[in-house]
Amino acid sequence: MINFRIFLARRIGKRLERKARIHRRDLRDHLRSEIGRIRELEVRSRGLRLYAAWTASADVVQTRAEDWYPAALRQADAEIESNAPLAA
């Protein structure tokens, strides 16, 4: 009779240990996924804050890429003409 009680206690103990291990593993996986989501949101919010600060600053001139080249050529021509030596 005592051997049977020991057998039952060991069996119940193993089952409880297995359930606890499964729950710990599920909790660990859940925490990892939550931390991953939190990191993604932190990176996204940091990027948006930087973008908002960049666009809100007064010295930022927003141009399109296709406008840049002609504007740069005009500016370079103006600089060359202003630095040209005067004819004597």
Q: For residues 72 and 88, what is the distance between their CA atoms, to the nearest angstrom?
A: 30
Q: Tell me, what's the pLDDT at 19?
A: 96
| 82 has pLDDT over 50 | yes
Q: For residues 10 and 17, what is the distance between their CA atoms, to the nearest angstrom?
A: 10
Query: Residue 24: what residue type?
Result: R
Q: Tell me, what's the pLDDT at 59?
A: 63
